[in-house]
Structure 1
Amino acid sequence: MAGLTRRQFGLFTGASAAALSLPTYLRAQGKPRVVVIGGGAGGATAARYIAKDSDGAIDVTLIENSDNYTTCFYSNLYVGGFRSFESITHSYDTLQSSYGITKVTGMATAVDRENKVVTMADGATVPYDRLVVAPGIDLIWDSVEGYSEELSQKAPHAWKAGEQTKLLKAGLDAIENGQQILMVAPPNPYRCPPGPYERASMMAHVLKSKGLMDAKVIILDPKPKFSKQGVFQEGWEKHYPGMIEWYGPDVHGGIESVDVAAGTVETGLDTFKGAFMNIIPAQKAGEIAGSAGLTDDSGFCPIEAESMRSSMDEAIFVIGDACIAGDMPKSGFSANSQAKVAAMTIRGDLVDAKVFPAKYANTCWSLIETDDSIKVGAQYAPGDGKIASTQSFVSQMDEDAALRKANYEESVGWYEGITEDMFG
């Protein structure tokens, strides 16, 4: 596939916070109301497409706790020095000014499903006819013995982008020759399956570029295998020989505990010590999804594959990392694709717009070294009661350097395209 332009990506994938002073958000007269919780790849896309394609016939409110949004996807390239922090941080201004979306900056804390009302942390309420829940993930802190939210200030997870990403980069930049970075990878399912391994690549890139060839990145993984493992490990051997070591459970015997103060990870095999730690815990759907009763025993939200409608409530749609999306991975591309299906279905519900059969897509690119990018992806459709893969691809070992460079250029085009698709 040639590099994706902003326009091609759109074709391929198909009021202000001052209002918080009011106790209740009032419906625009005569218009059905959609509320979207979460302003990431899923939520922002859904809000924009509902507003844009209904041509103002639906009143759309977007609830997001941040003034701006920093993408978790592409944050590894900031860590590796390929992007600035500003380039992965985006404003909601165009969604408000060009699409008439009401952006509420604050935390949604409860959903009254019977009365169709969202309650904010300050007590304000937001009524809805249809609700889109796109809160991303929350971290299960005690899934790694000895770790906590407080300790993430010293041993960042950086699995929610923003200040955590800056902490991760600062810790990496302080590494000296001969020191080790310890990464504890998360168990399945989690946001961005190739993400930890791209991150390790970017860490090694920074160390190598500074001439710190005796520094190492040690990955302690609870999983016996990981996404694109063969091509990652081939790339590590080619670009960073001896600098990245991956240990699965068959080798380390299980991750037993971490001691952030001591910089150690205790496993069934040995105690590993590092100068800096990147601990990525297990994950679940964002807290609001659980409190609204939209999750099952997995901690994530079951949905109807044909529509992204919650299996728990026909007036609610769950998209992005919080949902159980069958064969689809938890990624920004997936969330964006799911948002368009949900938006189409919601328009069908509320303004009798035409609804077409659902189709989904995903691609995940991972940069190993300058101009050496690998990818995995698929097309999906509803089948056998889930979102099922209908066609897939993955980078192969021993690929031509020109192809890997083209992959990187394609990913740059995709990033520009998806962020424009999200934020206008």
Structure 2
Amino acid sequence: MSWNRRHFLAMTGMVTGTALLPAPMVMAQARPRVVVIGGGTGGATVARYLAKDSEGALDVLLIEPTRRYYTCYFSNLYLGGFWDYDALGHGYANLASDNGVNVVHDWAIGVDRDARTVRLGGGGSVGYDRLVVAPGIDFVEGSVPGWDVSSQHIMPHAYKAGSQTQLLKAQIEAMPEGGTFAMVAPPNPYRCPPGPYERVSMVAHLLKQSNPTAKILILDPKESFSKQALFEEGWQKHYSGMITRIGPDFGGNNVEVRPQTMEIVIDGEAERADVCNVIPAQKAGLIAADAGLTDDTGWAPVTPQDMRSRLDQNVFVLGDSSAQGDMPKSGFSANSQAKVAANVIRADLTGSRAFPARYSNTCWSLIADGDGVKVGASYEPSEDKISSVESFVSKTGEDTDLRRQTYEESIGWYKGITADVFGAPTA
């Protein structure tokens, strides 16, 4: 199947038939306002769909500090040399000009849920009738002993795309001949479950061409990981002898780093690395915690029918920050959740029809040139969580034509989702 914008919308628009129903007429009074914090995939999607489907009945305000958003998904392909960095970046002009979203480039630094206001870093505050919180992830301090965010210029995480991604690639390209690239993988749950292992594949692809005697070391606290059989098959086929994974049985869950000396201590024994990519444990973006929307897990619990916060009925939490059940933290998931939330919020504020929630996700990964694999599922709300109802995954031993088709499908999906999120042309 070749993915394009039409295919993408057909699959992910299951709850967005709302566009077929005209929004109720709004009398001459202040329009209900929806404030969205975070202009990533979840936040930009919900803002766009609220604005366009309400046909002017809602005042939609998106708060996002950056003027250009770089997707974390597909950033590994930049590391591997398959994509240019600029291809990951997307602006907000079309959200404002073509969809009627009021985009405010500022930091949201506080939420008063009693007064229903959001405080801005540049001064002042904005009120809301409904609030959507979609700030992505932050890192758990101390989860990797020896590392904190002040170390990210030496041992980058590159798990928020942008300058960190550029830094990591520059470090890889500057490795000495026969040097060592080390990755400290995160514990569950975290953004994009296959992401660290696709990253290893892309780093291996780059090194195989420019530094073929280099080694890659994965320090992993998990017993297993997403698409493990597929990745391990691919590593053996394309990068035999280059990649070593150390799991918890051999000290992968007992790792300390020393950024100043570029050392990794594994079960008390120090190893030197030339590049060390530390991906720490993760939690909901800081503003979600500051707003009192998270629980002891560090994530924000939501009701599975609508992505509404379990702690405040006027607030919705989308994407990576949410604790919702079986869905992985991914761009596809965030986009799917945002459409459900947009439908419900519009119904709340305008009296339009709310459709039953259905969710979906697919995660593609590139292992080598033309060797793409995928995993995905469809989901429905159950009593206490979003539950997987049907799933699929690529199989080991697939022929090269199918793997190349899977990769090409992923490219079509990227073009489709970014057009859907940011209102950008697909050409």
TM range (shorter): over 0.9
Report the Cα offset of residue 213 of structure 1: 2.0
Deviations 1:180-225 (A, max 9, x none): 0110001111000000000000000001122x22101100001111
Shift of 1:82: 0.8
Residue aligning to 1:390 = 389
Q: How does 1:295-314 map to 2 (within 5 A)?
A: 295-314=294-313
| Matching of residues 90-109 of structure 1 within 5 Å | 90-109=90-109
1:143 is paired with a residue of what secondary structure?
coil
How far apart are the structure 2 equivalents of 1:332 and 1:103? Answer: 21
1:423 aligned partner, one-letter code: F
- Show the counterpart of 1:171: 171
Q: Is the 8 A contact 2:45 2:338 kept in 1?
A: yes
Alpha-carbon distance between aligned partners in 2 of 1:308 and 1:102, rounded to the nearest angstrom: 23
CA contact (8 A) 1:218 1:246 kept: yes
Q: State the SS of the aligned residue for 2:297.
A: coil
Are 2:284 and 2:322, in contact at CA under 8 Å, matched by a contact in 1?
yes
DSSP-derived class of the 1:343 partner? helix
Whole-Å separation in 2 of the counterparts to 1:197 and 1:374: 12
Go from structure 1 to structure 2 and tell me whether the alpha carbon gap of 1:253 and 1:183 turns closer, same or farther (over 3 Å shift).
Answer: closer
Tell me the secondary structure at the aligned position of residue 61 of structure 2: strand
Match of 2:2 in 1: 3
- One-letter amino acid of the structure 2 residue matched with residue 290 of structure 1: A
Q: Compared with structure 1, are the counterparts of its residues 356 and 253 closer, same or farther at alpha carbon in structure 2 (3 Å cutoff)?
A: closer
Q: 2:9 and 2:36 mapped to 1: Cα distance? A: 21
8 Å contact from structure 1 (residues 377, 394) kept in 2: yes
Query: What amino acid is aligned across from residue 153 of structure 1 in structure 2?
Result: H
Residue 313 (structure 1) shift:
0.4
**Contact 2:70–2:90 (CA<8 Å) still a contact in 1?**
yes
Q: Is the 8 A contact 1:255 1:265 kept in 2?
A: no
Corresponding residue of 1:366: 365
> Given that residues 246 and 252 in structure 2 are in contact (C-alpha distance below 8 angstroms), is that contact kept between their aligned partners in structure 1?
no
After TM superposition, give the deviation of residue 122 of structure 1 in Å: 2.5
Where structure 1 has 5 or more consecutive residues not aligned to the other structure, the ranges are 15-27
Provide TM-score, normalisation by structure 1.
Answer: 0.95
Aligned length: 409
Secondary structure of 2:360 counterpart: strand
The answer for the alignment partner of 1:206 in structure 2 is 206
Q: Distance in 2 between matches of 1:279 and 1:99?
A: 39
**CA distance in structure 2 between the aligned counterparts of 1:31 and 1:357, rounded to whole angstroms:** 26
In the aligned structure 2, how far is the partner of 1:200 from the partner of 1:29? 55
For 1:255 and 1:184, locate their aligned partners in 2 and report how far apart those are by CA, in whole Å: 11
Q: Which letter does structure 2 place at the counterpart of 1:126?
A: V
* 1:381 positional shift: 0.2
* 1:62 correspondence with 2:74: no
Paired amino acid for 2:33: R
Q: Is contact 1:9-1:417 (8 Å) kept?
A: yes
Residue 155 of structure 1 pairs with residue 155 of structure 2:
yes
Hey, what's the Cα distance between the residues in 1 that align with 2:361 and 2:173? 32
Structure-to-structure mapping, 1:16-415, within 5 angstroms = 29-210=29-210, 212-252=211-251, 254-268=253-267, 270-415=269-414
Counterpart Cα distance in 2 of 1:185 and 1:253: 9
Structure 2: distance between partners of 1:422 and 1:92: 10
For structure 2, the residue ranges without an aligned partner over 5 or more in a row are 14-27
Is the contact between residue 112 and residue 291 of structure 2 (CA under 8 Å) also seen in structure 1?
yes
Distance 1:345 1:144 in 2: 39
Shift of 1:29: 4.7
1:255-278 deviation digits (Å, cap 9, x = unpaired): 231011221111216322211110
Q: Specify the code of the residue in structure 1 equivalent to 2:218.
A: I
CA contact (8 A) 1:182 1:273 kept: no
The residue type equivalent to 2:379 in the other structure is: Y
Partner SS, residue 341 of structure 1: helix
Displacement of 1:48 in angstroms is 0.3
CA distance in 1, matches of 2:30, 2:275: 57
User: What SS does structure 2 have at the residue aligned with 1:153?
Assistant: coil
Aligned-pair CA distance for 1:254: 2.9
CA contact (8 A) 2:129 2:314 kept: yes
Distance 1:11 1:317, change over 3 A: same
**d(CA) in 2 for partners of 1:256 and 1:202?**
24
Deviation at 1:150, TM superposition (A): 1.5
Q: Deviations over 1:265-311 (max 9, x none)?
A: 11216322211110011110000000101000000000010000000
2:42–2:319 contact (8 Å) kept in structure 1: yes
